Chains A and B, each alone.
Chain A
């Protein structure tokens, strides 16, 4: 598939999950394709990074479900901050572990999973949709019922994949991408490179094969597809580019300039321009 094929499957108002963590291994070429599209009114579910910031700034999002939105080396995502502070989005902000259980619940097709995380915190006071449950056993303990974070579609990015939709991560952490893949009705995976199935293990152990074709519905090959987020070992985070991106929250002019140079162009053109700009 191409990025455009994937985005053609999405609709206004959908709930879209995005894999990765902060500014790490995000399916950015798919995010950029959404930015180029007419899609709007999306609910985004993400351990957020620039994916969330870009979609908020471009007006694609009506609701964000997250545990944080961070650029890692820049702790606060400036466009998400702006969206929260000007009230342009609705937010559901969960505990990181509660969010994990929400993904797991959706992946296992149960309505919630119980946890202690969240008890006593303002999550329960401010988000009345998050409820508690009483253990039916003798202990009778009250626990948070972390609600299933079900999605219409999930987008993930892997280092390698085969054409059938098996994915491989070569970095140090899969993050929760397998849970995103199962929590969604349909999952689209971009990757740095598509290889033949028998080549997947030519330079890695089988432990890296955590995304099976049971979990995916389409594969997009896009070298640099995670740019400017980290995608080790294929490429590190492009810190210079990330700083430029973050600075675009400073003024409308800066954003418009960034947008016309990097977002209102095709993905091929984007990749050429960021390589020309010294991005790796």
Chain B
């Protein structure tokens, strides 16, 4: 097989976010996360439940971006999605315009919310997702403008906000991972500050630190993100994303 691309490393790292989740709704948003979620389900996490991106839960694994051919296993209109997420059997992967060291996420606006410099998506489902079940984030272009000292608007709540709420209100809160085009991050530190978990092959720790607008926790030894094995690579290239949508999103 030809050389593994950065996008394929990212997809594999995204799949790893769902390892151990079992029979829950694996709900990645965006093309590259969708490829990663379906890779997890097609390989090491077969009990995961996935959507067609709209109103159906599907039992097969059609190519990302194509929805016509699919095996529907359950009807899940938008209202039912809130039932799932309030019940808690869901792990979402969202995007982020800004993220800070505790995993607070902004997708709503840039500048003061009362009169934004740039209106973006609004809160969407981020507050409810993060307080109710596991959340991970995907950042296709890792820069200091995304990984910021402090976000302009807290949509998805991070560990400092969760801590302020106390152990009862925050008992379902978990920001498991952040996957970017440069590396993988988690919050497995004493005070839940973001930690560099691995760097993708070809990326140095220095590259990551330079592209991050706050002080990351950097362990003494930072491993490389793993490569997909041959079976996973075949799944990515031939079954899940034969149209190569992942390559359009990830730059070096």
Contact B77 A66 (CB under 8 A): no
CB contact between A117 and one of B54, B108, B109, B127 (< 8 Å): that residue: B127
Known: A80-B119, A95-B123, A121-B126. A126 touches B113 (CB 8 A): yes
Q: A9 near B: Cβ within 8 Å?
A: no
Q: B115 near A: Cβ within 8 Å?
A: yes
**A141 vs B164: C-alpha distance in the bound complex, in angstroms?**
14
In chain B, what residue has the closest Cβ to A116? B131
**A120 vs B157: C-alpha distance in the bound complex, in angstroms?**
6
CB contact between A173 and one of B55, B119, B123, B157 (< 8 Å): that residue: B55
Distance in Å from the Cβ of A137 to the closest Cβ of chain B? 13
Q: B15 near A: Cβ within 8 Å?
A: no
Distance in Å from the Cβ of B176 to the closest Cβ of chain A? 17
Contact A175 B78 (CB under 8 A): yes
Q: B233 near A: Cβ within 8 Å?
A: no
Task: Flag the segment in A81-89, A194-202, A259-267 that touches B.
Answer: A81-89
**A118 vs B119: C-alpha distance in the bound complex, in angstroms?**
19
Q: B155 near A: Cβ within 8 Å?
A: yes
Distance in Å from the Cβ of B164 to the closest Cβ of chain A? 7
Q: A216 near B: Cβ within 8 Å?
A: no
List the B side residues contacting A142 at CB < 8 Å: 169
List the B side residues contacting A141 at CB < 8 Å: 168-169
Q: A122 near B: Cβ within 8 Å?
A: yes
In chain B, what residue has the closest Cβ to A75? B121
Q: A115 near B: Cβ within 8 Å?
A: yes
Q: B74 near A: Cβ within 8 Å?
A: no
**A80 vs B108: C-alpha distance in the bound complex, in angstroms?**
13
Contact A119 B79 (CB under 8 A): no
**A80 vs B56: C-alpha distance in the bound complex, in angstroms?**
30
List the A side residues contacting B123 at CB < 8 Å: 67-68, 93-96, 121, 123
**A84 vs B109: C-alpha distance in the bound complex, in angstroms?**
10
Contact A121 B157 (CB under 8 A): yes
**A21 vs B182: C-alpha distance in the bound complex, in angstroms?**
35
Contact A116 B116 (CB under 8 A): no
Contact A76 B119 (CB under 8 A): yes
Interface size of A by CB at 8 A reads: 39
**A194 vs B122: C-alpha distance in the bound complex, in angstroms?**
36
Distance in Å from the Cβ of A139 to the closest Cβ of chain B? 7
Most B C-beta atoms less than 10 A away, residue of A67, A93, A126:
A93
Which residues between 59 and 114 of chain A lie within 8 Å of chain B, taking CB atoms? 66-70, 75-76, 80-81, 84-85, 87, 93-98, 100
Contact B125 A96 (CB under 8 A): yes
Q: B10 near A: Cβ within 8 Å?
A: no
List the B side residues contacting A76 at CB < 8 Å: 119-121
**A179 vs B124: C-alpha distance in the bound complex, in angstroms?**
19
Distance in Å from the Cβ of A177 to the closest Cβ of chain B? 11
Q: A129 near B: Cβ within 8 Å?
A: no
Contact A172 B55 (CB under 8 A): yes
In chain A, what residue has the closest Cβ to B118? A85
Known: A120-B154, A139-B168. A93 touches B117 (CB 8 A): no
Contact B78 A121 (CB under 8 A): no
CB contact between B86 and one of A67, A115, A176 (< 8 Å): that residue: A115
Contact A120 B165 (CB under 8 A): yes
Known: A122-B153, A172-B54. A87 touches B115 (CB 8 A): yes
Q: B234 near A: Cβ within 8 Å?
A: no
Which residues between 9 and 28 of chain A lie within 8 Å of chain B, taking CB atoms? 21
Distance in Å from the Cβ of A209 to the closest Cβ of chain B? 15
Q: B132 near A: Cβ within 8 Å?
A: yes
Contact A121 B127 (CB under 8 A): yes
Contact B82 A100 (CB under 8 A): yes
Which residues between 120 and 145 of chain B lie within 8 Å of chain A, taking CB atoms? 120-128, 130-132
Contact B127 A123 (CB under 8 A): yes
Distance in Å from the Cβ of A131 to the closest Cβ of chain B? 15
Distance in Å from the Cβ of B190 to the closest Cβ of chain A? 20
Produce 1/0 per residue, A125-158, CB < 8 A to B.
1100000000000010110000000000000000
Which residues between 62 and 90 of chain B lie within 8 Å of chain A, taking CB atoms? 77-79, 82, 85-86
**A216 vs B165: C-alpha distance in the bound complex, in angstroms?**
42
Contact B115 A122 (CB under 8 A): no
Contact A100 B79 (CB under 8 A): yes
Top 8 nearest A-B pairs (CB, nearest first) are A117-B128, A121-B127, A120-B157, A120-B161, A84-B119, A97-B128, A81-B119, A95-B127
- 14 A-B contact pairs sorted by A residue (CB < 8 Å): A75-B121, A84-B115, A84-B116, A85-B119, A93-B108, A93-B113, A95-B128, A97-B128, A100-B79, A120-B154, A125-B154, A142-B169, A172-B55, A172-B56
Which A residues contact B (CB, under 8 angstroms)?
A: 21, 66-70, 75-76, 80-81, 84-85, 87, 93-98, 100, 115-123, 125-126, 139, 141-142, 172-176
Which B residues contact A (CB, under 8 angstroms)?
A: 54-56, 77-79, 82, 85-86, 108-109, 113-128, 130-132, 153-157, 161-162, 164-165, 168-170, 172
